[in-house]
Structure 1
């Protein structure tokens, strides 16, 4: 399962996107979605690193 979606639901969403946007726009949409996910993961990683750094500073103070 992918985030609460099975393969059937994912297939339905892809078919609907194909009908709405057409085959020429799907690669652009996929690329934009991939970049968005990449940036989100990068931001989440930076936040995790910052939290870990703050925790380490707090441990050194104690």
Structure 2
């Protein structure tokens, strides 16, 4: 479901009515900061498994070695 120009105008108009023109820039700024923090957190979660994978590979390789 795509947002067309009419839908975006309706959302912006509703936001102006609900929050007012003075509060809207502050609200946009806080939403932007929240999204930025969320992206940082998810990027950190994505990079963690890459760091952990070599130790997991060592565990799997040691299981392949024959017992003495």
- Common topology (TM > 0.5): yes
Partners in 2 of 1:27 and 1:20 — Cα distance?
Answer: 13
Aligned pair count reads: 59
TM-score normalized by the length of structure 2: 0.74
Compute the displacement of 1:29 (Å): 0.3
Q: Are residues 1:45 and 2:40 paired?
A: no
Consecutive unaligned residues in structure 1, runs of 5 or more: none
Q: CA RMSD in A?
A: 1.7
Q: Are residues 1:12 and 2:30 paired?
A: no
Say which of 25, 28, 38 aligns to 1:27: 25
Partners in 2 of 1:21 and 1:53 — Cα distance?
Answer: 44
Q: Residue 4 and residue 43 in structure 1: after superposition, are their counterparts in 2 closer, same or farther (change >3 A)?
A: farther
From the CA coordinates, give the structure whose radius of gyration is larger. 2
Q: Residue 52 and residue 7 in structure 1: after superposition, are their counterparts in 2 closer, same or farther (change >3 A)?
A: farther
